[in-house]
């Protein structure tokens, strides 16, 4: 199976003009935005508190003395899951230089992925249960309450 080509982030790091609601939310309450991003991505909502209650809080204040572990790991995981171009080195730099912008970018990416998600349904025929003397109508297969019609 061939690997899917890598893509860019849906918006740039400073792409607040593309979705002002994410940036306004992040500006007024960045911890709330970070917890929302973490929960939406499927991780524990309290994960970003590791960044707040550690020396990494200095990165949020503009002093990149320590890489924020939660923001960095979530950013790397998001890049990996969605096939976004980049490297761990770029993730570290982004998380240290502008952690708030990084959280806003991840929030915009999740909103974009949710809006443009594709659902794949596996439609393999299953076993057919028939009552004696009552065959199913032609073209119908009943499987756990699912009825599929073929035309």
The residue assigned the tokens 């061939």 is 2
Tens digit of pLDDT for each residue in 45-101?
998 888 877 776 666 666 667 788 889 999 999 999 999 999 999 999 898 888 888
Task: Please state the separation of Cα 2 from the chain's center in Å.
Answer: 22
Q: Residue 6 pLDDT more than 80? A: yes
More confident residue, 4 or 103: 103
151 pLDDT exceeds 50?
A: no
Mean pLDDT for the chain? 77
Q: 25 burial class (0-12, 13-18, 19+ CB within 10 angstroms)?
A: middle
pLDDT of residue 49: 86
Q: Bigger pLDDT: 127 or 58?
A: 58
pTM metric for this prediction: 0.68
Rounded-to-integer distance, Cα 86 and Cα 60, Å: 22
Return the residue matching tokens 């979705």: 19
């Amino acid at each position: 199976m061939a690997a899917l080509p890598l893509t860019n982030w849906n918006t740039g790091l400073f792409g607040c003009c593309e979705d002002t609601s994410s940036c306004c939310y992040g500006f007024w309450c960045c911890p709330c935005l970070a917890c929302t991003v973490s929960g939406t991505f499927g991780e524990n909502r309290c994960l970003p508190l590791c960044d707040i209650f550690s020396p990494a809080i200095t990165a949020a204040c503009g002093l990149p003395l320590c890489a924020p572990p939660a923001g960095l790991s979530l950013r790397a995981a998001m890049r990996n899951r969605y096939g976004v171009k980049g490297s761990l080195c770029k993730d570290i730099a982004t998380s240290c230089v502008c952690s708030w912008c990084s959280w806003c970018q991840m929030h915009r990416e999740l909103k974009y992925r949710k809006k443009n998600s594709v659902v794949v349904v596996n439609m393999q025929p299953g076993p057919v249960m028939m009552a004696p003397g009552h065959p199913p109508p032609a073209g119908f297969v009943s499987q756990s309450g699912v009825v599929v019609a073929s035309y």
